[in-house]
Amino acid sequence: MVDVQFCRPLPPAPFTIFKLLMLTLLVLQAIPTHTLSPCKTSCGSIPINYPFGLEDGCGAPQFRHMLNCSTDLFFQTPSGSYKVQSIDYEKKSMVIYDPSMSTCSILQPHHDFEMTDIQSAIIPPSQDTVFVLLNCSIDSPVLNHYKYLCFNFAGHTCDELYGSCNAFRVFHLLTNSSPPCCFTSYNTVKFMSMNILDCTHYTSVLNTENLKGVGPLDWVYGIKLSFSVPDTGCESCKKSGGTCGFDTDTEGLLCLCSSFANATRECAAGSIISKGYNNAPWTHYLLVLLVAAYFPTSWRLVLTELSLIVFHSFC
């Protein structure tokens, strides 16, 4: 048995090296939990789930390049970037807002709302989104040959819009009459540009199912898109703990299990260390808690133990 009293004071070097070692170990342990998450699961407060993805290779290939999370979440179409207000995964709908669209309270220069063919097919405006073409010329196709494209919108009239909306009053004032308007569906806007339609402005209203007797001031302006989720067997991937994605070269479907392993259909047991963190953020906190609770005591224990060994070797 060595008598500690006879030992020289311990030089600081071994302790520093030891601390560095422990730190390195800690860092090494922390890194995988970050790099293993292959897909971001939210943008701001909006959850990003299948079929959507922010990074290329996440989500369904059909929805590739549609979302952009720069400052906020944006839905990108050929006519611009539209701010996403919400995504309802149960009802399979997404509400977007066109910042340059006219509404009851603001009049803005017209522009077209355009989508790609793929977007029109898999995430078109919903049935309960009504497009209102305003200040149309009397030569407009929707007042003549394509009159049938305009429908009765819960009994609402152009006069009502021109009368109760500050933004639209100007149409009425200039001519001292009511220029025609047209309540129509997305398909009309899809096949004819605003120039062909010969209307100077448009607005769009969502949740239009129960708007009988509700004035334009109380309508919700924006565009609701309704998406279809490709039936590609994503369920079995999710059940195995993976995230559905695709190969960015071939667009072949992939089940993303971790940054070290992808599978074609589902993750093999043991390959999904990362996915737990990704799907359930609370496990992250649990890990932090565990580390916080575990290390102060164990550090002290290990430090004491090692310093004893060091002491012995010095004596």
Ligand X SMILES: *[C@@H]1O[C@H](CO)[C@@H](O)[C@H](O)[C@H]1NC(C)=O
Question: Minimum Å distance from CB 80 to ligand X?
Answer: 7
Amino acid code (one letter) for 147? K
Nearest by Cα to 62 from 118, 125, 124: 118
Does 254 sit near ligand X (CB under 6 A)?
A: yes
| Among the listed residues 51, 57, 124, 125, the single contact to ligand X using CB under 6 A | 57
Does 133 sit near ligand X (CB under 6 A)?
A: no
Does 132 sit near ligand X (CB under 6 A)?
A: no
| Among the listed residues 135, 188, 203, 243, the single contact to ligand X using CB under 6 A | 135
Tokens at 284, concatenated: 């992250």
Does 81 sit near ligand X (CB under 6 A)?
A: yes
| Among the listed residues 51, 124, 180, 245, the single contact to ligand X using CB under 6 A | 245
Tokens at 182, concatenated: 């047209």
Q: Is 177 helix (H, G, I), strand (E, B) or coil?
A: coil
* Cβ neighbours for 57, distance < 8 A, ≥ 6 positions apart: 38, 39, 245, 246, 247, 248, 254, 256
Does 242 sit near ligand X (CB under 6 A)?
A: no
For ligand X, the binding residues in 142-201 under the rule CB under 6 A are 170-171, 179, 200
Does 260 sit near ligand X (CB under 6 A)?
A: yes
Does 226 sit near ligand X (CB under 6 A)?
A: no
Query: If phi over 0 gives left and psi between -120 and 50 gives alpha, with beta otherwise, what is residue 127?
Result: alpha
Q: Please give the size of the binding site for ligand X, defined by CB under 6 A.
A: 19
When the beta carbons of 211 and 255 are compared against ligand X, the nearer one is 255
Q: How far apart are CA 186 and CA 59, in angstroms?
A: 26
